[in-house]
Chains A and B, each alone.
Chain A
Amino acid sequence: MSNEGRSYTLRIWRQKNRNTPGKLVDYKVTNISPGSSFLEMLDLLNEDLVAKGEEAIAFDNDCREGICGMCSLTINGIPHGPERRTTVCQLHMRKFEDGAVITIEPFRAKPFPIVKDLVVDRSAFDRIIQAGGFISVRTGGVPDANAIAIPKDVADVAMDAAACIGCGACVAACKNSSAMLFTSAKASQLNRLPQGQAEKDRRVLLMISQLDKEGFGSCTNYGECQAVCPKGITLDHIAKMHRDYAVASFKNVFGKVL
């Protein structure tokens, strides 16, 4: 592993707040170790800016292990950047050639208003979960964990769906700003499991209704969401949710669901 420092030109979106127009501003960084993460590079840039008395660039991040879903940068037009199945916080500078020009923008989507610079408001996702992304159980009033046998393949697919970190890259990548991949990941996880059957129909009807209220667009099967998803969530969860939605809507016509 070579350790010599690299230099980059960063073209970064700066925006004071939601109501002020933003613009791209160029910054130079030098002496970046290829072993540094992308966010460590931004930390260093911020150190330089603060030392000069300029305002640091705001960007969301927390765990820096690719699991909390807080980091949300669009790098050279791709949410989470060029490496597949990788969040920005896990992206390392060895992937960028010395001297490269890198454009850094927030996750862009109408339902994700910009808070400042690269920070966006993704609270719409929480409201989708509030609508139906749960199994209604009381604390304590539950059967023994091994009372229900769940075939391994069902549990595995549910786990594939449950791996979603709620980062919103799927929305940022979609031309329609659709949140179907996010929503279907939760709906598919719960609707596949025996524990989730009782609320299966309500769940999809309520979650999709909330998704519409938040202003997310429809899914037109471009598949960009799947391509950028850092956790490899696949389109078949959307297909599963569509099927569940069709059945639930049909039942609902006869007043049996909501």
Chain B
Amino acid sequence: MNLDSKIPSGAIGEKWVNHKFSTKLVNPANKRKYKVIVVGSGLAGASAAATLGELGYQVLCFCYQDSPRRAHSIAAQGGINAAKNYQNDGDSVYRLFYDTVKGGDFRSREANVHRLAEVSCNIIDQCVAQGVPFAREYGGLLDNRSFGGAQVSRTFYARGQTGQQLLLGAYSALERQIGLGTVKMYTRHEMLDLVVEDGRAVGIVTRNMVTGAVEPWAADAVLLCTGGYSNVFFLSTNATGCNVTAAYRAYKKGAGFANPCFTQIHPTCIPQHGDQQSKLTLMSESLRNDGRIWVPKSREDAAAIRAGKKSPNDIPEADRDYYLERKYPSFGNLAPRDISSRAAKEACDDKRGVANTGFGVYLDFKDAINRLGQPKIEERYGNLFEMYERITGVDAYKEPMQIYPAPHYTMGGLWVDYNLMTTIPGCFALGEANFSDHGANRLGASALMQGLADGYFVIPYTLGGYLAGLGLASAGKNSPESPAFKASLEYVKERTSKFLSIKGKRTPRSLHQELGHIMWEACGMAREASVLEKAIEAIPHLREEFWKNVTVTGSGEELNQQLEMAGRVADFLEFGELMCRDALARDESCGCHLRVEHQYPDGEAKRDDEKFAHVAVWEYKGDNVTPVRNTEPLTYENVHFAVRSYK
């Protein structure tokens, strides 16, 4: 597998500038001859499709929802980072770069991260110009807040719905291009295969989710902006439709899959209420600016709370353990996500957890309300408090919120080079779907930044370089009638009819739930070789059960949500195994990936930079054949290896 990262030469601050200059351009009049497919319409997809359409390419954009505005980027709450230094508190491009590399626990690629920090400022300018109503101060200038893993305030926000506002900005830009005819939008279309011909990506096959029609689409390049795979855990904060299918199809067609075990468990989600739960809800990390996290010091108090005999307000200050403030005094409640999540798990494993399941900790606003007054807290987080009350029936102004970590984001994804191209020429991956920028742990408010950076400011340059390299002769000439397309169509149709023909006893959802349970136990917040080995054995059995005993009602020629679910679950059943293999092979701890065998006495992740300062890139070798693990070494020329310390 060719893992040439194509990192440009030069000093870290000059790489992107030089690369933009040395990348070939496509003449404005020639751009319209090229066809580009964009799969997904979240921040990465919508911004890429809008920008490429504006540049003059013929763009085809696909999403599985009924409108591009529904993509799950919309659910991001807290904010977006940018190195604007509007607060005059010592921020800079280099500091954002440094914080991101360190926050990622030295498992991301320096050059990509620096580029991300560089373009972060352009993103804010772009969004403001589009009319995104970011929060402002009385003087009319932009306001900032702080976020986990940083000691500066560099996060821009729009109440508790920053993702929504940024996505609607990108969606507006996309709709404008659709209106102008440069982008053709296909909603309720699900990508079910990537088509590769002579080693290049030449198009995709989709299923029209309303009519069931399976159709081929040819293009000169395919951009996968299809998000992450947290739903492999069944319960996550992702939208119910989020899935790994597009990325996994690309993997099966030869794209390397990087670091699949790097999954972020977000510390502030609403605890699970019971087995009827279909998804978990995130409460923005911004709440940690003013909320203090604690559990009772004694197991007895915790047990009394769980039994409903005591309320959290009955526990005096002296009997509360503000464990993040205690363990990490300088970052306190704003410690990075992986560290905060693990600390919550530790407290609950110590039987000091609250919530009726024992898997919950408190996030308390009492001090902030006393200090700032309730109106100020309402202004900052009103919508989050309302949401909390709707879901739990508890008024968090009066009683602390209960929170617990939940799968939320995946740092792993398709391997891409500096140009965001996967190991299949012509197939690119943007946003959460790729692996490059966050290493083993993503800092808060950096996902929005990366999605928009890739779509607005990176791919418009790097895609041009690829297309210019192809030459004009072949532009727009790939035919959906070719044998490669026919084979893909056949494959998709066969698979669809297979799902419908099994007529077994198990629902796709029940199998997904079972997989989620295995994944959470083996590949969740703490991982251990023996448990991972068992999971690697168990998952193929579950897969077998699926293909023998699944039942999918309805037909293939209509809207059929059970059929859609079955397809996604079938891919998760293969992908989950890959994740466990990756977690097992990475015999160290780093960031989100805590192998219980490798930790410092205080429970911190113990990296092994000698052996594992690399990206693990998995190569598909056939169904039920062990995939091959390749590596891309990571070198750190600017930020030097250090044990992360947030104390």
Chain A residues engaging chain B, CB cutoff 8 angstroms:
1, 3, 16-17, 32-33, 35-37, 39-41, 43-44, 46-47, 49-51, 53-56, 58, 60-70, 83, 85-86, 90-92, 94, 115-116, 119, 121-123, 125-126, 129-131, 133-140, 142-146, 148-152, 155-156, 158-159, 162-163, 165-166, 189-190, 193, 195-196
> Which residues does chain B contribute within 8 Å of A65, judged by CB atoms?
75, 237, 281-282, 387
The chain B residue sitting closest to A121, CB to CB, is B66
Closest A residue to B159 by beta carbon equals A159
Pair A3/B274 contact, Cβ less than 8 Å = yes
Find chain B residues with CB under 8 A from A134 CB: 130-131, 172-173, 175-176
**How far is A101 from B505 in the complex, measured between Cα atoms in Å?**
30
Q: Which of A16, A63, A126, A156 is in CB contact (< 8 Å) with B239?
A: A63
Q: Does B601 contact A (CB under 8 A)?
A: no
* Residues of chain A within 8 A of B560, CB atoms compared: 58
In the complex the two chains form, what is the Cα distance from A66 to B391 in whole Å?
11
Q: Which 5 A-B pairs have the closest CB atoms?
A: A149-B140, A130-B179, A142-B129, A35-B273, A134-B172
A149 proximity list for chain B (CB < 8 A)? 139-141
Contact with B179, one of A41, A63, A131, A148 (Cβ below 8 angstroms)? A131
Q: Contact: A90 with B387, CB < 8 Å?
A: yes
* Residue in B75, B126, B168, B393 whose Cβ sees the most chain A Cβ within 10 Å: B168
C-alpha gap A142/B66 in the complex (Å): 31
- Interface segment among B256-264, B550-558, B610-618: the answer is B550-558
Chain A binding surface, main DSSP class: loop
B62-83 vs A, Cβ < 8 Å mask (1 yes, 0 no): 0001111111101100000000
B340 at the interface (CB under 8 A from A): no
Docked complex Cα distance between A41 and B136 (Å): 41
Bound CA span A189–B163, Å: 17
Contact of B240 among A61, A125, A148 (CB under 8 A): A61
- Smallest beta-carbon distance B279→chain A, Å: 5
List, in ascending order, chain B residues with CB within 8 A of A137's CB: 126, 129-130, 173
The answer on a CB contact under 8 Å between A36 and B276 is yes
Instruction: Apart from A1-B392, A46-B562, list 10 A-B contacts with CB within 8 A.
Output: A44-B276, A47-B510, A63-B75, A64-B279, A130-B178, A135-B131, A138-B54, A139-B460, A146-B86, A158-B131
Beta-carbon contacts under 8 Å, B203-223 to A: 210
| Minimum CB distance partner of B274 in chain A | A33
In the docked arrangement, what's the CA distance between A53 and B178, Å?
41
Q: Is B72 a contact of A143 with CB atoms below 8 Å?
A: no
The residue among B72, B130, B161, B277 with the most chain A CB atoms within 10 A of its own CB is: B130
Q: Residue B134 at the A interface, CB < 8 A?
A: yes
| Total chain B interface residues with beta-carbon distance under 8 A | 89
- Is B5 on the interface with A (CB-CB < 8 A)? no
- Give residues in B with beta carbon < 8 Å to A: 47, 50-51, 54, 65-72, 74-75, 84, 86, 122, 124-142, 158-159, 161, 163-165, 168, 171-173, 175-176, 178-179, 185, 187, 210, 237, 239-241, 273-274, 276-279, 281-282, 356, 386-387, 390-393, 456-457, 460, 503, 505, 507, 509-510, 551-554, 558-562
Chain A hits for B133, CB < 8 A: 155-156, 158-159, 162, 189, 193
Docked CA distance A55–B574 (Å): 27
Q: How far apart are the CA atoms of A242 and B130 in the complex, in Å?
A: 23
Is the pair A115, B210 in contact by a Cβ cutoff of 8 Å? yes
Q: Is B393 in contact with A92, judged by CB distance below 8 angstroms? A: yes
- Residues of B within 8 Å of A40, CB to CB, are 276-278
Q: Which of B54, B72, B132, B392 has the most CB of A within 10 A?
A: B132
Q: How far is the CB of A216 from chain B (nearest CB, A)?
A: 16
Nearest A-chain residue to B173, judged by Cβ: A134
Chain A minimum-CB-distance residue to B237: A65
B491 to chain A, nearest CB (A): 25
Contacts of B210 in A (CB 8 A): 115
Question: How far, in angstroms, from A207 to B127 measured CA to CA in the complex?
Answer: 22
Q: Which residues of A contact B175 (CB under 8 A)?
A: 126, 129-130, 133-134
- Find the A residue at minimum CB distance from B282: A65
Task: A90 to B388: give the CA distance in the assembly, Å.
Answer: 10
A91 to B393, CA, bound (A): 11
Contact call B273/A36, Cβ cutoff below 8 A: yes
- Among the listed B51, B276, B279, which residue makes an inter-chain contact with A32, where contact means beta carbons less than 8 Å apart? B276
Closest to B129 in A: A142
Q: List 25 A-B contacts (CB under 8 A).
A: A47-B509, A49-B553, A53-B553, A56-B562, A62-B70, A62-B241, A67-B74, A68-B69, A68-B75, A69-B69, A122-B67, A126-B187, A129-B172, A134-B173, A137-B130, A138-B54, A145-B128, A145-B142, A146-B86, A151-B136, A152-B140, A158-B131, A163-B159, A163-B161, A195-B128
Instruction: Among A43, A50, A122, A190, point to the contact of B551 (Cβ < 8 A).
Output: A50
Q: Give the distance in Å from the alpha carbon of A116 to the alpha carbon of B392 in the complex.
A: 32
Q: With a CB–CB cut-off of 8 A, which chain A residues contact B172?
A: 129, 133-135
- Closest Cβ of chain A to B468, distance in Å, is 19
Q: Is the CB of A47 within 8 A of B507?
A: yes
Q: Contacts A58-B559, A62-B65, A155-B134 hold; do A139 and B50 have CB atoms under 8 A apart?
A: yes
Q: In whole angstroms, how far apart are the Cα atoms of A58 and B188 in the complex? A: 14
Complex-state Cα separation, A162 to B166, whole angstroms: 11
Instruction: Write out the residue numbers on chain A whose beta carbons fall within 8 Å of the beta carbon of B509.
Output: 43, 46-47
